[in-house]
């Protein structure tokens, strides 16, 4: 199986990011890999947090007012990217093979990547797994409390865990209703 990021050229990544930006979106992830259905070029889109949409005195932690990426957003980016790839097929190193283009959002249970996401989604429920135990545990579930001096704060009941950002192997939001 081809690694998702190694097989993607920088010109393809730049083109996809440029198209996404033209609709007020950002490129969250780009993968080109072999799957059971054949080769798939998967583009994942997100919205940049709107200025001032961070928790504050006037908004509770976890308050997110930005519109989620919708079907119409995905359709527009898919159409534009597909048209570009029709005229510049060398952007995808498919080796003459066909592939499927998929455009989607990160979803409600989106992965968390980097300090910006931990700040952006402060107050939301998340699950975090670390590379090595931190304070005797390697799985954390609770509300994100933001970032403090390089540590992700995870509030679990009355306890707040400090998880070093560099020790996190994977993290994602939990779906809340």
Q: What is the pLDDT of residue 17?
A: 96
- Specify the CATH class of 114-173 in words: mainly beta
The SS3 assignment for 65 reads coil
Residues of the chain with pLDDT under 70: 1-7, 49-66
Strands 38-47 and 99-104: parallel
Q: What is the pLDDT of residue 48?
A: 73
CA dist., res. 162 & res. 147, Å (int): 9
The domain locations on the chain are 10-104, 114-173
Strands 137-148 and 168-173: unpaired
Instruction: For residue range 13-46, list pLDDT tens digits in order.
Output: 999 999 999 999 999 999 999 999 899 999 999 9
CA dist., res. 168 & res. 128, Å (int): 7
Of 30, 26, 18, nearest to 101 by C-alpha is: 30
Lay out the sheet containing 38-47: strands in order across.
Answer: 25-35, 38-47, 99-104
- Specify the CATH class of 10-104 in words: alpha beta
Beta bridge partner(s), residue 81: none
* pTM confidence score: 0.78
The SS3 assignment for 134 reads strand
Tokens for 116?
């910006």
CA dist., res. 165 & res. 146, Å (int): 11
CA dist., res. 82 & res. 110, Å (int): 25
Compute the chain's Rg from CA coordinates.
18
Q: What is the pLDDT of residue 9?
A: 86
């Amino acid at each position: 199986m081809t690694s998702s990021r190694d097989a993607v050229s920088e010109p393809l990544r730049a083109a996809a990011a440029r198209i996404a930006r033209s609709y007020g979106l950002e490129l969250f992830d780009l993968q080109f890999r072999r799957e059971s259905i054949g080769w798939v070029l998967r583009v994942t889109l997100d919205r940049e947090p709107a200025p001032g949409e961070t928790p504050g005195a006037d908004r509770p932690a976890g308050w997110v007012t930005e519109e989620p990426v919708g079907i119409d957003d995905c359709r527009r980016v898919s159409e534009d990217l597909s048209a570009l790839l029709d005229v510049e097929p060398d952007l995808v190193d498919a080796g003459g093979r066909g592939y499927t283009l998929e455009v989607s959002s990160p979803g409600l249970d989106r992965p968390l990547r980097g300090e910006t996401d931990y700040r952006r989604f402060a107050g939301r429920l998340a699950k975090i797994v670390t590379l090595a135990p931190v304070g005797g545990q390697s799985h954390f579930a609770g509300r994100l409390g933001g970032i403090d001096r390089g540590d992700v704060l995870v509030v679990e009941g009355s306890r707040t865990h400090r998880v070093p950002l560099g020790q996190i192997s994977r993290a994602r939001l939990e779906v809340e209703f």
